[in-house]
Amino acid sequence: MIHLSNIERFYKNGLLKTWVLRDINLQVQPGEFVTIMGPSGSGKTTLLNILGMLDQPDKGEYLFFDEAVHKFNEKKRTELHKHYIGFVFQAYHLIDELTVYENIETPLLYRGVKSQERKSLVADVLDRFNIVAKKDLFPHQLSGGQQQLVGVARAIIGKPKLLLADEPTGNLHTSQGEMIMDLFAQLHKEGMTILQVTHNEKNALYGSRVIKLEDGFVREDKPITPDA
Amino acid sequence: MFSNYLKITLRTLLKQRVHSMINLLGLALGLACTSIIVLWIKRELSMNQFHEHKAELFRVLEHQTYDDAVFTFAATPGPLAEKLKADFPEITHASRVSWGERSLLAYGRESFYQEGRSVEPDFLEMFTFPLLQGNQETALSNPNNILITRELADKYFGGEDPMGKVMRLDDEADYEVAGVLADIPENSTLKFDFLLPLDNYLKQDESLNSWNNNSIQCYFRVRPGVEAGAITEKIKKIVAENGQENVALLAHPLSDWYLRSRFQDGKLQGGRIDSVRLFGIIAVFILLIACINFMNLSTAKSANRAMEVGVRKVSGATRGLLAGQFLSESLIMSALAGLLGIALAAVALPYFNRLFELELAISSAGPGFWLGMGAAIVITGLVAGSYPAFFLSGFQPVKVLKGLVRKSGGAVQLRKALVTAQFAISVLLIIGALVIYRQIQFIKNKNLGYDKENLLYVPVNGALWDKYETVKTELMQMPGILSVSSTNGQVHQWGNNTSNVSWEGKDPEQAILFQTIPVGYGFVKTIGASLKAGRDFSPEFPADSTNFLINETAARLMGMDEPVGQTISLWEETGRIVGLLRDFHVGSFHQAQDPVIMILRPWKNFIYIRLKPGDGLSGLLASMEMVFRKHNPAYPFEYHFTDREYEELHRNEQRTGELAKVFAFLAIFVSCLGLFGLASFMAEQRTKEIGIRKVLGASVGGITRLLTMDFLKLALIAIFIASPLAYYLMNKWLQGFAFRIGIPWWVFALAGLITALVAILTVGFQSVKAALANPVRALRSE
């Protein structure tokens, strides 16, 4: 599903080149739950952004379902990303002016989904996440965990093939974090491909594979055994 | 999708109240100005447009060439109209039209002053002044018929049928009502209460039969499709061929009568159209300032919305869709502002109407106005929203979600440029308002060479013609009256001139236009003019009936150093110059100083009365009325004060001045609104910087200065940009006055000072607030 080869990302600062990612080779199969770990500044988020097509590599190839993403223009990338990828952020990034319902609905609007269908899709998700009672509240009226729940709901409403999560529990209390991680595990079980970035060793255990980055290189890439 | 935008817009509006109020109020004020100005422009452009044959109607103007200049008049020789109709097949109708005479019109016991015009039968077929009653073919064929407007019919006859009733004019002639005209539309430049056949008017004035005298207006109608240029070319030389060699005719088309009628040296110099353009531009300026506010505040606040943009992009929004969202937001805003603006305009209209003596109303505006306003609202929305749409939609989600959006140098530069533009427009308007105000004060207070205060004049009519001497004697006995004299025109707007003057050593080719003023004894003293040499006319010198008084300009033009005692001739009659007058004004300040020749004649259209300054005016007027009513019982006592009438001459400038003041204030106010918002935002954004500076020991004053200087610099740049432009434009405006002020340097300084002061006050408030904030709190929030 994802095929990265020799991906490089760097910043030029005058004559100085600062590497963020170097020589990344990575394959992800459908249905995997991959955790990317590493210290601050190791390039985790950049990698996630490249995978999510929000950022472009300076070198290397990125194949997504055998399509060469690195050759696409912005419009085509947006198109691809709109239909295949969902994002969850550490800071939730809900739109303050929109209610829970409207926040979840937003991606559907941009896909041109009909009003009736939107209603039923949003209703399903609200139901599933147990937040029907909260649908008319605004983000600031919710707890962090609830906001992130909405964030996840919004990310998966369009039934993406790939869910990307950048420290999804970074701002949450332990119990709320566990709730979100359980949800991820559940989604994974249903067949969703998930890539998450986290510092938290415990969260990594929910996944099926861990990739460790250091100074832009992949240092370690190993599957997780249920008992480990 | 749109409902989603609408929701977001309204919620953003409510969430950021101050910011929204500034935006809304600014745009609403801009649109209120626009809607008033659109209404007014529509009215100006509609002048005379109600005539069915508007494209075929012309007025004849004369360009008269003299040595130093070409003057343009609407007066033409009497025989012209008939000649035009006879000689040119493309001219189908022509009519002489009198200037509009005020006469006492009476029916039974009802008696009022009304304005009438004497016209020829073609008049009714040329102009669309429809007859409600009466026969258009025959209505003007009987010399003793009168046509009255419906308003007049109601006034004199109430419910009765006016047809066939006999009305008395000036207590000397009877006219039979032969028709009732529909009321004259408000937007007609030809105004009258009644029409008379020209016959009796012709009988009163022999000179109307001559080609050598220009004393009546001539209008004509052509076949459809005949161009103004073509017909001018054909008729141009008619008057010249018949004796007045310095005259070229011009066919002035109807559409230009009101808007383009100012000629200078024989060339069209504009007219009302200049005001139309000026205020059109001002409306656009104010709207632009409001748009700039909108753009500035939106881009400044963009950091707050950057996250939203990022999330939407991650959710699949394309740049186009986002641009659409921001554009619809600004369109919604401008629509709201438009509604508010039209409401504001409705409130402000009575004031505007009073100032301009107009009857504009939004309720009767018609589809043109709503279409125009709709267009203004949409354009405003698009202009105001264009930059935010372009700017915000270009954010890269990776960056904004990381919070890296603040250092957008381009936007800051643009914001500065826009604020500078706002300041520049404000400075321009302030300088304009100051210069116009000063010029008007100058006109009001300038020494005219005669004393217009306490100078009263009474039009002569009825029995007064014969009883002048008696009336004068009785008036002179009143203690409040210093002197009484007569003349045949109004001093503050003299309009009787001739080039038929000769003197020793005159170049026979030379043609100079002299103002000729026929006066009675004591005129110089009465109007308060002063003699530089010689003496006034006096009954002690019987020869004075052929003698002259001239003014300094006349002496200079005739090349006389010692004019008193020299011989000149006027209208082929020779006499001696007995006195030299200091120059005095015989017109508005648009006219240059004219050479003047005074002659002693008993032609007394007006009695001039010099009052003793002081109170008791109403008692004096009452006793004067008694004298006039006693000797002239058929007429009401009518009088005018010269100073007030003089001010009336400059009414247009005064109004322009008033408006310039209002608009300058509005422009500054709207700019300030934007500045206030921007400053508060800047202070908010620099909270951390301010906190650090304070921790490092900066004083409140220092920080206030730091924040204020940013804007002050922009104000200074704006002053330097706007000053030369203002100088150029105001100089051009002043060119329209023969007597004008210079533009002193301090006008620019004052305008700059006002702008800078307003900027400091607006920004300073926010700066002090930011500077006083507790730094610990500011730093903790990071």
Q: Is the CB of A96 less than 8 angstroms away from the CB of B308?
A: yes
pLDDT attached to residue A65:
86
Between strands B531-534 and A209-214, the pairing is unpaired
Q: Is the CB of B312 less than 8 angstroms away from the CB of A87?
A: no
- A211 within a domain of the structure (yes/no): yes
Q: Does residue A141 sit at the B interface (CB-CB below 8 Å)? A: no
Q: Is the CB of A110 less than 8 angstroms away from the CB of B321?
A: yes
- A184 within a domain of the structure (yes/no): yes
Q: Which amino acid is at B348?
A: A
At residue A226 the predicted structure's pLDDT band, cuts being 50, 70 and 90, is low
What residues does B610 pair with on adjacent strands? B455, B483
Residues of A whose CB is below 8 A from B307? 93, 95
Residues of B whose CB is below 8 A from A106? 4, 311-312, 315
The two three-digit tokens of residue A79, written as one number: 């198109």
pLDDT attached to residue B146:
92
Q: Is the CB of B4 less than 8 angstroms away from the CB of A102?
A: yes
pLDDT attached to residue A228:
46
- A148 within a domain of the structure (yes/no): yes
Asked whether residue A203 carries a pLDDT value surpassing 90, the answer given is no
Percent of chain B clearing pLDDT 90 (strictly above)? 8
Which of B304, B315, B332, B399 is the mutation pick for testing A, counting most A CBs within 10 A? B315
- A142 within a domain of the structure (yes/no): yes
Average pLDDT over residues B279-291: 82
The two three-digit tokens of residue B402, written as one number: 């990381």
Average pLDDT over residues B413-428: 83
Q: Tell me how many residue pairs between chain A and chain B have CB atoms under 8 A apart.
A: 62
CA angle A164, A165, A168 (to 5 degrees): 165
Average pLDDT over residues A112-116: 87
Average pLDDT over residues B727-735: 83
Nearest to B15 among A97, A109, A110 (CB): A97
Residues of A whose CB is below 8 A from B313? 78
pLDDT attached to residue A210:
92
Q: Does residue B311 sit at the A interface (CB-CB below 8 Å)? A: yes
Query: Which of A159-168, B249-258, B469-478 comes out lowest in average pLDDT?
Result: B469-478
At residue B1 the predicted structure's pLDDT band, cuts being 50, 70 and 90, is low
Percent of chain A clearing pLDDT 90 (strictly above)? 26
Q: Is the CB of B397 less than 8 angstroms away from the CB of A93?
A: no
Q: Is the CB of B318 less than 8 angstroms away from the CB of A75?
A: yes
In contact, B180 and B148? CB cutoff 8 Å: yes
SS3 content of chain A, % helix, strand, coil (to 5): 40, 30, 35
At residue B192 the predicted structure's pLDDT band, cuts being 50, 70 and 90, is very high
Asked whether residue B111 carries a pLDDT value surpassing 60, the answer given is yes
pLDDT attached to residue B383:
81
pLDDT attached to residue B408:
53
- A228 within a domain of the structure (yes/no): no
CA separation for the pair B536, B525 (Å, rounded): 8
Q: Model confidence over B633-669: pLDDT tens digits?
A: 777 777 888 877 777 777 777 777 777 778 778 877 8
Rounded to 10 deg, the angle between the B700-734 and B687-695 helix axes is 130
Asked whether residue B303 carries a pLDDT value surpassing 70, the answer given is no
Q: Residue B734: name the closest of B747, B716, B720 by CA.
A: B747
At residue B409 the predicted structure's pLDDT band, cuts being 50, 70 and 90, is low
Percent of chain A clearing pLDDT 70 (strictly above)? 98
Which of A93, A100, A102 is the mutation pick for testing B, counting most B CBs within 10 A? A93
Which of A78, A83, A84, A100 is the mutation pick for testing B, counting most B CBs within 10 A? A78
Domain of A193 in residue numbering reads as 2-223
Find the helix or strand (DSSP H, E) in which A223 lies.
Answer: strand A217-223
Please, which residues 278-307 of chain B have a Cβ atom closer than 8 Å to chain A? 307
Q: Model confidence over A13-39: pLDDT tens digits?
A: 777 888 888 888 999 999 999 999 988
Q: DSSP assignment of B676-717, as one string?
A: HHHHHHHHHHTHHHHHHHHHTT--HHHHHHHHHHHHHHHHHH
Q: Give ipTM to 2 decimals.
A: 0.76
In contact, B51 and B130? CB cutoff 8 Å: no
Q: Model confidence over B553-601: pLDDT tens digits?
A: 888 877 777 877 777 877 877 888 888 888 777 766 666 677 888 887 7
- A195 within a domain of the structure (yes/no): yes
CA separation for the pair B644, B627 (Å, rounded): 24
Please, which residues 12-71 of chain B have a Cβ atom closer than 8 Å to chain A? 12, 15
Q: DSSP assignment of B587-617, as one string?
A: S-TTSPPPPEEEEE----SEEEEEEPSSS-H
User: How many domains does chain A contain in total?
Assistant: 1
Average pLDDT score over chain B: 81
The residue written with tokens 């989604």 in the block is A187
Nearest CA in chain B to A156: B315
Asked whether residue B373 carries a pLDDT value surpassing 90, the answer given is no
Average pLDDT over residues A171-182: 88
- A22 within a domain of the structure (yes/no): yes
At residue B495 the predicted structure's pLDDT band, cuts being 50, 70 and 90, is low
Q: Does residue A56 sit at the B interface (CB-CB below 8 Å)? A: no
Q: Does residue A171 sit at the B interface (CB-CB below 8 Å)? A: no
Q: Does residue A106 sit at the B interface (CB-CB below 8 Å)? A: yes
pLDDT attached to residue B234:
87
pLDDT attached to residue B780:
54
pLDDT attached to residue A227:
53
- For the purposes of burial, counting CB atoms within 10 Å of the CB of B42, is it exposed (0-12), middle (13-18) or buried (19 or more)? middle
Asked whether residue B536 carries a pLDDT value surpassing 90, the answer given is no
Average pLDDT over residues B103-115: 86
Percent of chain B clearing pLDDT 70 (strictly above)? 95
The two three-digit tokens of residue B348, written as one number: 């402000």
Q: What is the DSSP letter of B371?
A: H
CATH number of the domain at A97, please.
Answer: 3.40.50.300
Radius of gyration of chain A (CA): 18
Asked whether residue A123 carries a pLDDT value surpassing 90, the answer given is yes
Q: Residue B657: name the closest of B439, B403, B492, B447 by CA.
A: B439
In contact, B599 and B574? CB cutoff 8 Å: no
- Neighbouring CB atoms inside 10 A of B658's CB total 17
Asked whether residue A70 carries a pLDDT value surpassing 60, the answer given is yes
Q: Determine the distance in angstroms separating the CA of B317 from the nearest CA of chain A, rounded to an integer.
A: 6
CA separation for the pair A49, B593 (Å, rounded): 82
All residues at 6 or more sequence positions from B348 whose CB lies less than 8 Å from its CB, including other chains: B32, B36
Q: Does residue A97 sit at the B interface (CB-CB below 8 Å)? A: yes
Q: Is the CB of A106 less than 8 angstroms away from the CB of B321?
A: no
Most confident of the following: B295-304, B314-323, B763-772: B314-323
pLDDT attached to residue B591:
64
Long-range contacts of B345-353 (CB under 8 A, 24+ apart): B345/B31, B345/B32, B345/B33, B345/B35, B345/B36, B345/B39, B348/B32, B348/B36, B349/B36, B349/B39, B352/B36, B352/B40
Find the helix or strand (DSSP H, E) in which B490 lies.
Answer: none
Q: Model confidence over B378-404: pLDDT tens digits?
A: 988 888 788 778 877 877 777 776 665
The two three-digit tokens of residue A95, written as one number: 């739109």
Between strands B145-149 and B173-181, the pairing is parallel
Residues of A whose CB is below 8 A from B311? 93-95, 106
Between strands B145-149 and B194-197, the pairing is antiparallel
